[in-house]
Structure 1
Amino acid sequence: MSRTAEQGLTPRELEVARLVRDGLTDRDIAVTLDIARRTAEWHVQQIFNKLGFNTRAQIAAWTARDELVGTAAHSTDTRRHNLPLQLTTFVGRAQELATVQRLLATRRLVVLVGVAGAGKTRLALEVARQTGDTYADGIWLVDLTPIRDGGLVPRAFASSLRLHDRPRQPIAQTLLEDLRGRRLLLVIDNCEHLIDDCARLIDAILRSCDGITVLATSREPLRVSGEAIWRVAPLALPSPAALTDVDQLARCGAVQLFVDRAQLVAPGFQLSARNAAAVGNLCSRLEGLPLAIELAAARASSMAPEQMLARLQDRFALLTAGSRSGPARHRTLHAALDWSHDLLSDPEQRLFRRLSVFAGSVSLEATEHVCSANDLEVAVIPGLLGNLVDKSVVIAAGEAGEPTRFRMLETMREYGWKHLEDSGEVERVSRRHGEFFVALAEEGWAKLRSAQQPIWHRRLADDLSNLRSAFRWSRGRDPEAALRLAWALNDFCIIHGIVREGDDWFEQALAGYTVRDELRAKALGEGGWIAWHCDDIGSSAARWRESFEIYRELRHVSGIGQALHQLGHLLWWQGDFATARKNYEEGLAMSRQAGDAFWIAGSLRSLGELDLWEGDPVRARVHLEESLAWNKRVGEPKWRSYTIEALALSEIELGDFAVARTHLEEALGIVRELNFALGLVGVLKTFVVLAAAQSQPVRALRLAGACDSLSESIALNPLGHWPMMQRWLEISRMELGPERAAACLAEGRAMTRESAIEYALAG
């Protein structure tokens, strides 16, 4: 039995005795152990009582002798570390383990940086454990969690290394002298709240002691020379396809952790076909954060995964079942985020909570507009945003050559939103968010009709989540803004295949804004197109007719030209070709009068397509070539692809297959660059006509099958002149016979999008 046990000291009293030996006052002990000062005083008095001492010097001398005896008595203990034994299994992260170990082999300072609850500490301890005998003088953990005073950082290092004070010598100097000539790994956990003091001491150690390697964890980099940063990401999440495959799901790191921890509280828990989707979705909703997953798994004894998933609308109320023996900041998800939030400066906290208004990722420009105010000037936002990235509160991402975008994990965003609500800023920040994205959509509407169309499609796609959020906000508070947003995104919704959603926006926005002005007329015209693509011809007709009536009331020449063109499409669909042609011609005249190049090109293109429909490819080519010339002035690629495709059809009808193929290859390049699903179907259908016209029935029918499959996948109603395709397809069917024709169609339906494109180009 040790002398400590004989004297009846508790582990906490022994810990206090060692701090007394190290020269700490009762106040210092309270700060170091994160306890009240009166509690520290009580522990010291208990030591006096149990050991029969009257002075702190007696406690110090006794503690030194006790440890000396203990060292001799346990001289056979060959452990050269103070790493805690782990009571749970380390799950996943094999690649991260190997990477960090490789970094430690070549760098003397490696810092694991990551968001709260990402698993930095556990990864660092596992790396240290697996490092084994690499370091002759061992591996020593310095846990800075309980330290609140930066001046105590050197003493925390010394205490972990079991160093004693030397008379008239600062503890930092004692530490450096002891470490010189030694070869060991220091694992420094939780540097973020003492970042400056940690950085200075670690820098001094590395410069003075060439045998020391440091592995640190922090929510932000130390900014020490030679520092290698490894960002600890959340655990791997299951793909949507894996949610129904138990074996595939079981190999996912996040799911493995959930199952392992769930079995601690519910030994009979198993991943099964019945609960697989719920477990996978739960881990995905928790964004692979180990702390959040462990807190959820702790509920497995009383809740099924499906029940947990249903309650995640308030994840902070659900995730509160942490271990009593763990750090206080890890007992609830909210506490973990409180720890990070409290380390932010006041301006950083203001920016953080305002960033929660954004959905998905966001540009710097949007952040500056939405988050700035009298208490947060635009000029300081880039620097503050960089600080939030460094402190693992915000994630910076971006492809090479593209502007950086910023996002928060949904867990952080929800936490920030609660702070935004508490600040009373929700209405003001949401209004600025709505204003910015309505303006962005309107700028995008103009740019989508120019040579900048591909760039702006990508930009709007990046901000789709924010555009949706802006619509939801404006719909209930600013009907005019909601309608402006709906019409401005019409072309974007068509190209990106979200026409049902876009049509819903129009329905809601038009119902909320009933003023018969230019805005409503313009929106009705755009809304007619999106309804047309939803195969809702009735809504198209109603919108286009009302648009025409309003423009006529306003005597808006350009608007009347647009509306006549739109009504021409309706008449064409109804089979009234003569009146449709009259509308196109009158619309063309009005557009010429207004000098509207976009609609001049549009009316000429529609006249050319109608010529093809009525069997006049020569006249069609004249109209289409003039349309293309006007389109080049505008520089808008989407409608140019339609015009070139129609020109290809006219060349096929005229027997010039080589020119037709050249046109189709150009049109295909445009729709691929735009990622325009509807346009791709149209171009491939024209390749069907080309193959059939060249007596390639197998190729024609396979491509037709691929077109059918692609059309179904995007649920769109392609505009165009498909009776011509059906006429050529019927010839191909007759050449092959019904059985072979059906087989070719089936083979085409099995093609992927890319394989269909390759097949078309190879013909």
Structure 2
Amino acid sequence: MGTAVDGGPLTQLSSFVGRTDEMVELSRLLHGVRLLTLTGPAGVGKTRLALELAGQEQRSRHCEVIVVKLATLTHIDQIRRQILIALGEPAEDGVPRAPRAAPYANESERLLVLDDCEHVLDECGLMLSELLPSHPYLRVVATSREPLRLPGEAMFSLSGLALPDVDGDSSLSECLRSDAVLLFLDRARTVVPDFQLTQENARHVGEICVRLDGLPLPIEMAARLIRVFPPAEVRARLDDRLSLLTNGWRLADQRHQSLRASLQWGYDLLNPAERSLLRGLSVLPGGFGFDTAAAVAADGSAAEPGTSELLIALSVKSVITPYTDQDGPARFRLLESMRGFGHERLVAESEDTETYGRLVTWLTQLSEPLHRETFIQPAVLRHLAAEHGNLAHALHWLIPGTDERQLLLAGALATVELSPGPADDTLTLLSHILDRGIESSPYRSVALECAAALAGRQGDYGTAMRYAEQAVELERGYGRDPLLSRLLLLRSALHETHGDQGSAVADLRECLKIGHRLRDETLTALCRVGLARYQLLNGELGRAEQVIEEFLPLLRMRVPPRWLHAVLVTAGALALEKDDLPTAEAYFTESLRGPAEHTRGPADALQGLAIVAARAHRFERVLQLIGAAEQIGPPASWGDAWWRERVNAARSAALKALPPNRAGASLEAGHAMRHRHVLAFALGSQATGATAEDSDGLLSKRERDVTALVVEGLTNRQIAARMHVSVRTVETHIRHIRTTLGLRSRAHIAAWAAERRTAAVRPAVSPPSPGPLAEAAPLVWVSTAGADRSSRSRELRGVRRIG
């Protein structure tokens, strides 16, 4: 049997839940290296996993296991003496050898577990650099919040247990597949034996595990509170988790007896500069890159060269966690418990006011283009979107006061929410800020603009127009043409939504004059194409086509996909009016090919494809596309009756041509499609010219990489090792891939990828070169259209963010 020093026997008294893939990978790693270090944040379960691994090695009789706990040791002589005693080696002070265990098949093979090395890294390094060369059959497993950084060391980084998706409708089934929830259940039943996961409490339990980042230590503490509180109350009390989670095992190390003590242990190991940065980062619930971290650092200098080194150090020490499942610049986050601890220390040091001030200044700088430029560049929007959580947090900190910057930050928050869909309370928040009496701020027009867009998207035309009118009048007073032109485009769209063609055209013409005055080619092109839209609606096809052909090359080069979408749909509509079906289909398809985040609500393009399919007598596809369009959201405004007449004609033709059961099944199949599965369906037809690359565009680069490894037959653990990410990240990617493509299993993912490879060798139909193009979309496009669902007619209203 193995030997344990200062740690008790290897056999644990509580059950071991989850970590199946980790155990497989660690066992493989352990037989290929001599020093394996398990790293990870406080409470992630490094010690328990190391002991389980050691126990597995012991049971398989691979080696003798020796455990040395270092939590209470601080000096190299203490560490050397303890390890030598455990190994049965002669100690320098004459301490006798420890009794050896019963002989093994290979008696010289031994596994030494060094637990809790983070506070004595140098001492452990010195000891191991002497011990390993002189003991060729000795292997070492160390646990630490950061690696030892020794030659030959293999590092295995642990993250939280697999979490459920609590946002969906299947909370119970999701929770039952989550290791984090299974651990919660196991520990809850030790205090309440008949505790069950039900449809009613599953979401609460899942949210507890999510808010605790899947970390076993706080999850176990929260689970034991079930004896006193129901799951809903435990979840509600997690805002004060540092005071709540104090019920660790009685005989555990002091730092494992409460969540606060566990976090304090790691905090005390940081140097003063690292502690200061950690406190500053606690005001960033939305994550951060190097620039944002530098902005909230103590000196507030975004050019501070030391911030990068400090962030790297905090990452190595498992204090901050890198986002591993996104493309683009590196970003990090604080786990929620660590952020709460850091914020508590920030307040205790009286640094909160200055730190929030630096954050607001930084976000204001990012948001300035909203009131200075006509068209917001995609890079600015991406940057603001990355800071979405921090915008909301800073805004709520500002609201009690009268700082005018809250108007600009509220506008920025609404701007980034308009594309994926605003939160329900965003318009309420904006309205509250606008009603606070900050009348003379130059930022007020931005807040009014976004409030108008949100109200229009919700179908509240009166409120939307009131805000838009106020914004236009304010900007006319300021004489700032760039923002005024954007507001006129918005108001024109609002007028069109409610059939006031004269006012819509008047606003476009005023905007066109501003474009000429500013010598802004892009603005001029957008206004000219916008006016050409009305020529199309009025049957002036030749004039509309002439304008569109003139400005298409410029717009294709200068506008991002979300703006080009509406333009291409109008081009497709013009081709339909000329009965040029291949060209129309190519334009509608092209409008769907933009990046996934730019194609929310492409119902108009789907309806256009349905009209094309009807004229080509593909009637099942007609109803599937119409059903999908109804499910995905409102199309852009098309003079209302003009476009609806064509869509309804396509629907009627399909219903007449198909037996009722097939027609109903096709329509319901469209209704049942998820958003990105809709795009895969629309782009999947050879007739649309979609290639394998089009369908792959629905997945991120990392999702495509995961798909390729699934095709190779790799397990989640193997994929994680290959990509240097956690197993939980791989699980998240696979769930996203299945959701995006409407697939049910890994086998279906592999089959889908094989089909794409086959399709990639087929010749693809290219969209036409510069040809009929559509009305250019301003920053905000207002939409309202009607469409039948089954045999009922309903009116769809909303605002879609194009810029």
In structure 2, the residue matched to 1:14 is: none
Map 1:515-664; keep pairs closer than 5 Å: 515-516=439-440, 518-556=442-480, 561-629=485-553, 631-632=555-556, 634-664=558-588
In structure 1, the residue matched to 2:130 is: 204
Distance in 2, Cα, partners of 1:266 & 1:575 = 63
Alpha carbons of structure 1 residues 126 and 87: separation in structure 2 relative to 1, 3 Å? same
Kindly indicate whether the alpha-carbon contact (under 8 Å) linking 1:698 and 1:741 is maintained by their aligned counterparts in 2: yes
Residue of structure 1 aligned with 2:644, choices 726, 738, 750 = 726
In structure 1, the residue matched to 2:395 is: 471
Distance in 2, Cα, partners of 1:135 & 1:422 = 52
Structure with larger Rg: 1
Kindly indicate whether the alpha-carbon contact (under 8 Å) linking 2:611 and 2:650 is maintained by their aligned counterparts in 1: no
Distance in 2, Cα, partners of 1:375 & 1:159 = 52
In structure 1, the residue matched to 2:210 is: 284
Residues 1:314 and 2:240 are matched in the alignment: yes
In structure 2, the residue matched to 1:324 is: 250
Higher helix content, 1 or 2: 1
Residue of structure 1 aligned with 2:147, choices 221, 232, 242 = 221
Residues 1:676 and 2:599 are matched in the alignment: yes
Map 1:246-645; keep pairs closer than 5 Å: 246=172, 249-373=175-299, 378-398=304-324, 402-443=328-369, 449=375, 453=378, 455-477=379-401, 479-498=403-422, 500-512=424-436, 514-516=438-440, 518-556=442-480, 561-629=485-553, 631-632=555-556, 634-645=558-569
Kindly indicate whether the alpha-carbon contact (under 8 Å) linking 2:3 and 2:86 is maintained by their aligned counterparts in 1: no
Cα drift, residue 292 of structure 1: 0.7
Alpha carbons of structure 1 residues 601 and 753: separation in structure 2 relative to 1, 3 Å? same
Determine what percentage of the aligned residue pairs are the same residue: 30
In structure 1, the residue matched to 2:609 is: 687
Give me the TM-score of the superposition, normalised by structure 2.
0.77
Unaligned regions of 5+ residues in structure 1, if any? 1-77, 172-179
Which letter does structure 2 place at the counterpart of 1:757? L
Residue by residue over 1:324-370, the C-alpha shift from the partner in whole angstroms, topping out at 9 and shown as x without a partner, is 21111111111111111111111111111111111132101110121
Which letter does structure 2 place at the counterpart of 1:724? W
Residue by residue over 1:217-274, the C-alpha shift from the partner in whole angstroms, topping out at 9 and shown as x without a partner, is 1111101111101112222222227885656534422222222222223333333444
Cα drift, residue 97 of structure 1: 1.2
Q: Please, which moves more after superposition, 196-205 or 481-490?
A: 481-490
Alpha carbons of structure 1 residues 283 and 493: separation in structure 2 relative to 1, 3 Å? closer
Q: Please, which moves more after superposition, 512-521 or 725-734?
A: 512-521
Residue by residue over 1:128-177, the C-alpha shift from the partner in whole angstroms, topping out at 9 and shown as x without a partner, is 11102667761111111221334311012123335554568999xxxxxx
3-state SS of paired residue (1:235): coil
3-state SS of paired residue (2:38): strand
Which letter does structure 2 place at the counterpart of 1:641? H
Alpha carbons of structure 1 residues 476 and 619: separation in structure 2 relative to 1, 3 Å? farther
Cα drift, residue 291 of structure 1: 1.0
Distance in 2, Cα, partners of 1:565 & 1:344 = 53
Kindly indicate whether the alpha-carbon contact (under 8 Å) linking 1:181 and 1:209 is maintained by their aligned counterparts in 2: no
Kindly indicate whether the alpha-carbon contact (under 8 Å) linking 2:492 and 2:508 is maintained by their aligned counterparts in 1: yes
3-state SS of paired residue (2:435): helix
Residue by residue over 1:636-672, the C-alpha shift from the partner in whole angstroms, topping out at 9 and shown as x without a partner, is 44322222221211121022222222322322223x4
3-state SS of paired residue (1:323): coil
Distance in 2, Cα, partners of 1:655 & 1:273 = 53
In structure 1, the residue matched to 2:621 is: 699
Q: Please, which moves more after superposition, 203-212 or 605-614?
A: 605-614
Alpha carbons of structure 1 residues 267 and 721: separation in structure 2 relative to 1, 3 Å? same
Residues 1:666 and 2:590 are matched in the alignment: yes
Alpha carbons of structure 1 residues 537 and 294: separation in structure 2 relative to 1, 3 Å? same
Which letter does structure 2 place at the counterpart of 1:345? N
Kindly indicate whether the alpha-carbon contact (under 8 Å) linking 1:243 and 1:276 is maintained by their aligned counterparts in 2: no
In structure 2, the residue matched to 1:96 is: 22
Residue by residue over 1:470-527, the C-alpha shift from the partner in whole angstroms, topping out at 9 and shown as x without a partner, is 2222333454212222334554332222275553443233234643565434543454
Distance in 2, Cα, partners of 1:685 & 1:544 = 30
Kindly indicate whether the alpha-carbon contact (under 8 Å) linking 1:591 and 1:599 is maintained by their aligned counterparts in 2: yes
3-state SS of paired residue (1:358): coil
Map 1:138-217; keep pairs closer than 5 Å: 138-163=64-89, 165=91, 182-217=108-143
- Aligned residue pairs total 670
Cα drift, residue 204 of structure 1: 1.3
Please tell me the root mean square deviation across aligned C-alpha atoms, in Å: 3.2
Distance in 2, Cα, partners of 1:587 & 1:371 = 43
Give me the TM-score of the superposition, normalised by structure 1.
0.81
Kindly indicate whether the alpha-carbon contact (under 8 Å) linking 2:292 and 2:302 is maintained by their aligned counterparts in 1: no
3-state SS of paired residue (1:230): strand
Distance in 1, Cα, partners of 2:669 & 2:300 = 64
Which letter does structure 2 place at the counterpart of 1:524? L
3-state SS of paired residue (1:185): strand
